[in-house]
Amino acid sequence: MRPRYLRPSLSLPDIYLYRPPIDFRKQANSLAALVELELGHNPFSGALYAFTNRHQNRIKCLMWEDNGFVLYYKALAEEKFRWPRAGEDLISLTGEQINWLLDGYDLNLMRRHRILHYDSVA
């Protein structure tokens, strides 16, 4: 497997997966408001929050880093993220688990997506 450079640290202490799908037009400030108003968490704590869209083919991660929000966005070309279905609206993950999710693993089955190779976008 190739190295991944733009990924959450494996040692990141607080990572939360928000299970309900969100409107993906939301940007950092709107997601921070959701974290604060709906979840009752401090969006400036340095915790990472992961969100998905209704089709579960995109993911956004929000994290405060020193002097601004970092917004990580990934859109899958063909498959879907396997979001956990059962449980609370907010699930705590480890750094390893969020990276598995970004790699396409179904966290329940530990099965990953196919690796795709393209030569052109056109």
pTM above 0.85, yes or no: no
Q: Kindly write down the DSSP assignment for every residue of the chain, as one continuous string.
A: -----SS--TT-S-EEEE-S---TT--HHHHHHIIIIIT---TTSS-EEEEE-TTSSEEEEEEEETTEEEEEEEE-SSS------SS-SEEEE-HHHHHHHHHT-BTTTTB-PPPP--S---
How many alpha carbons fall within 13 Å on the CB side of residue 112?
11
Q: Is residue 117 part of a domain?
A: no
Give yes or no for a contact between 15 and 47, defined as CB atoms under 8 angstroms apart.
Answer: yes
The pLDDT of residue 64:
94
The pLDDT of residue 32:
97
The pLDDT of residue 114:
65
Give yes or no for a contact between 61 and 75, defined as CB atoms under 8 angstroms apart.
Answer: no
Q: Block means of pLDDT (10 residues each) for the chain, length 122 residues?
A: 72 89 94 96 96 93 94 89 76 87 75 70 75
The pLDDT of residue 6:
76
- Please count the structural domains in the chain: 1
The pLDDT of residue 120:
79
Instruction: Report the alpha-carbon distance of residue 113 to residue 49 in Å, rounded.
Output: 22
Q: Is residue 66 part of a domain?
A: yes
Q: Is residue 76 part of a domain?
A: yes
- Domain range enclosing 50: 15-103
The pLDDT of residue 109:
66
